[in-house]
């Protein structure tokens, strides 16, 4: 992901088709580790493609993904389970203090 981000930053910096050296320069400017093979693969895959074309293809893929409302269902269920568990722990804690005669 960092390689693609560096590529995008180089594009925003005015390079229509950033080179391997451009991407490396961006990464080294923030002291990031550089994997030459991954950068070479990125440059090869991006050759001859405009950023607009790549981003549009990504939007098309994202359109088939579930929406945020559908994804919130499992998260809401998980939150309810966690809340229920914490309520049970509070009840157990109150029972324990009752057994001790209210010492604590």
Q: Which two tokens stand for residue 84?
A: 């229920």
Residue 34 near residue 27, CB atoms below 8 Å: yes
**Tens digits of residue pLDDT in 31-41:** 999 999 999 99
Q: What is the pLDDT of residue 19?
A: 94
Residue 23 near residue 7, CB atoms below 8 Å: yes
Band of pLDDT at residue 64, cut at 50, 70 and 90: confident
Render the burial of 1-28: b for 16+ CB within 10 Å, e for the rest. Answer: eebeebbbbbbeeeeeebeeebbbbbbe
| Distance separating alpha carbons of residues 83 and 61, to the nearest angstrom | 35
Q: Can you give the residue ranges of every domain in the chain?
A: 2-63, 67-104
- pTM tops 0.75, yes or no: no
Q: Does domain 2-63 have CATH number 3.40.50.150?
A: no
């Amino acid at each position: 992901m960092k390689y693609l981000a560096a590529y995008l930053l180089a594009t925003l910096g005015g390079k229509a088709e950033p080179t391997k050296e451009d991407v490396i320069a961006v990464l080294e400017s923030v002291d990031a580790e550089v994997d030459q093979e991954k950068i070479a693969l990125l440059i090869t895959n991006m050759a001859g493609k405009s950023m607009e074309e790549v981003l549009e293809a990504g939007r098309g893929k994202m359109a088939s993904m579930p929406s945020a409302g559908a994804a919130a269902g499992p998260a809401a269920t998980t939150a309810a389970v966690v809340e229920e568990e914490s309520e049970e722990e509070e009840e157990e804690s109150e029972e324990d203090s009752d057994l001790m005669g209210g010492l604590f």
